[in-house]
Amino acid sequence: MRIDWWTLGLQAINALVLVWLLSRFLFRPVADILARRQAAAERIVDQAEAAKAAAEDEKAKAQAETARLAASRGDALKEADEEAEERKAAVIATAREEADKIRSEAEKDIARARAAGQHEVAEKAGNLAVDIAARLLDRLPDQARVGGFVDGLADGVAALPDDIRADLGADGTPLRIAAARSMTDQEQSDCRKALAKALAREVEIEVSVDPKLIAGLELHGPHAEVRNSFRADLDRLQADLNHHDEKHV
């Protein structure tokens, strides 16, 4: 077999020219296109990744905002519940206070009404007792309605303070004596003597009649009063009865 080196050389040269032409006009533009497309694809991927990251970030922000709003709503509801409970408690406390006040006032009114009723009954009973006693004492013998009270009147005058006794009958002023009935001359004389002894000086008396005394004598001075009569005793008895009933109401 005979090799034609010229033909082989020309074919080799043609092949080299063809490779050079392909690399210049085909491979390089294609490589450039592929590179540009690769870069574009990479940019798109980067943009997609950036968009995805931004979307994830927005999603996280949205979730965080949702959680914050939920927590805020929960806090607001909790605060509203607490405020409602406080208002409810305040309303209940006010209602209880008003109820206690109304009950207390009602109890006081009932107590006052009960006390007034008992006091009225006690007062009527006391008046009745005094009236009965007065009727019974009014049956005393006429001579006993004055004479038996002279010494008691003198003892009452003697028990007065010194300055009061010194003022009684001073400068000859008669002592004003009220009697249950008209006094006899002997009774007036006995009364003057007893009062003179109590005051340690002579005195004059001026007698007036007061049937309301029932029995007894009373001395009425400018600064003192000595009561020794059944009327005074009955008044004290009635006062004691009323006072006793008031204490037990």
Summarised one tens digit per residue, pLDDT across range 91-119 is: 556 756 765 676 677 567 666 656 655 56
d(CA 202, CA 223): 19
Please, is 97 exposed, middle or buried when counting C-beta atoms within 10 Å of its C-beta (0-12, 13-18, 19+)?
A: exposed
Position 137 scores a pLDDT of 60
Position 187 scores a pLDDT of 92
Q: How many CA atoms lie within 13 A of 4 on its CB side?
A: 4
Residue 109 lies in a domain: no
Residue 93 lies in a domain: no
d(CA 236, CA 213): 13
Overall number of domains in the chain? 1
Contact 204, 193 (CB under 8 A): no
Residue 13 lies in a domain: no
Which CATH number covers residue 155?
3.30.2320
d(CA 150, CA 44): 140
Helices (H), the chain: 5-22, 28-137, 150-158, 162-167, 185-199, 230-247
Averages of pLDDT over runs of 10 residues in the chain (249 residues) are 67 72 64 71 73 76 75 70 70 63 66 62 63 63 80 92 88 90 92 93 92 90 88 79 58
Residue 23 lies in a domain: no
Residue 197 lies in a domain: yes
Residue 179 lies in a domain: yes
Give tens-digit pLDDT for 61-101. 777 777 777 677 667 667 766 776 777 667 556 756 765 67
Position 26 scores a pLDDT of 64
Position 63 scores a pLDDT of 78
The count of other CB atoms within 10 Å of the CB of residue 137 is 18
The one-letter amino acid code at 248 reads H
d(CA 153, CA 65): 105
Position 217 scores a pLDDT of 94
d(CA 245, CA 16): 149
Residue 63 lies in a domain: no
Position 159 scores a pLDDT of 92
Handedness of CA 235, 240, 241, 247 (dihedral sign): positive
Residue 207 lies in a domain: yes
Q: Which domain holds residue 164?
A: 138-247
d(CA 170, CA 104): 59
Position 117 scores a pLDDT of 58
Position 36 scores a pLDDT of 75
